[in-house]
Amino acid sequence: MLNNLSILITGGTGSFGKAFVETVLEKYPDVRRLVIFSRDELKQFEMAQKFPVSKYPALRYFIGDVRDSDRLRRAMEGINVVIHAAALKQVPAAEYNPFECIKTNVLGAQNVIEACLDMGVRRVVALSTDKAAAPINLYGATKLCSDKLFTAANNIKGGRDLRFSVVRYGNVMGSRGSVIPFFLGKRKTGVLPITDPAMTRFNISLQDGVDMVLWALERAQGGEIFVPKIPSYRITDVANAIGPECEHAIVGIRPGEKIHEEMITASDSFNTVDLGKYFAILPSAGSHSVETYCAEFGGKPVEPGYAYDSGSNTDFLTVEQLRELIARDFSGADSESI
């Protein structure tokens, strides 16, 4: 699918970007060019130690910020596929520095869209988050705006062979700032801070996130927000998996946090299609109705009023399953030691 094509990934030095690059280099050895677009020269230097250009001649490390539209256009010369993963995503930091988050997550998203329109890009997939569904914090609100910008961009593509789509998923196991590495670091203190004993979250592995983006590149017709069917976990089960002997200190939820995360709201249900492994939320003003989309591309409409949240999910990871996943994905954390 990606052989002989040129790909650019914004935020390419992040957790997702590195996993995406590794997968593409392994599965598509004839990829023409793979451009890592990010603003941190140190992270690019560190990434180049693992993926040196001498060994992977298709790689390019391009310093730039999605806030800079001219730099984006320069980076997208000759690019066929764009994966937009750049974002400011720390909820407390976004609450304290709201317009900085808006400049990257909203204005930066529009800069990416306009550069793709101008530079002949053909396929675009933007990464979203469960916090964009019925958002209660600024980060989620900016990502909802970003989602709307990308899905609506299909309305202004004209005659271009260009499709914009979005993938939305929950907490990525092992991503920077997530609860599992935080608990692993706190375990040696004997106390694990629990925000709320009832709290749940969706869980997806980095590789599953990468595979979903590749699936969306191949399947998307333009305008969809794709949502995976993934398990949930209880925050108390994560704590018991990592530090069964540790004390649980209830510290209360942080500003902008939910007890349960959502990916499809009841209001979304009227535009949502069940595709088997994934859902697709269609734009309300798009070129396809739910009926025509199902007729042309498969799937079936969800029941009116259907909602998909981490608390009412029918699939929950057990403590033992969490322990096995943590042992698999974190170096130095074997199942016996945790």
The pTM for the full model equals 0.94
Q: What's the pLDDT at 337?
A: 39
Q: Are strands 81-84 and 6-10 parallel, antiparallel or unpaired?
A: parallel
**What is the token pair recorded at 166?**
């979005």
Q: What's the pLDDT at 336?
A: 39
131 is catalytic: yes
For 160-212, what is each residue's pLDDT tens digit?
999 999 999 988 886 766 789 899 999 999 999 999 999 999 999 999 999 99
For 79-133, what is each residue's pLDDT tens digit?
999 999 999 999 889 999 999 999 999 999 999 999 999 999 999 999 999 999 9
Of 18, 43, 89, 131, catalytic: 131
Give bridge partners of residue 183 from the DSSP assignment.
none
> CA torsion 279→283→287→293, rounded to 10°?
20
Domain 6-170+204-229+262-309 has CATH 3.40.50.720: yes
CB neighbours of residue 265 within 10 Å: 16
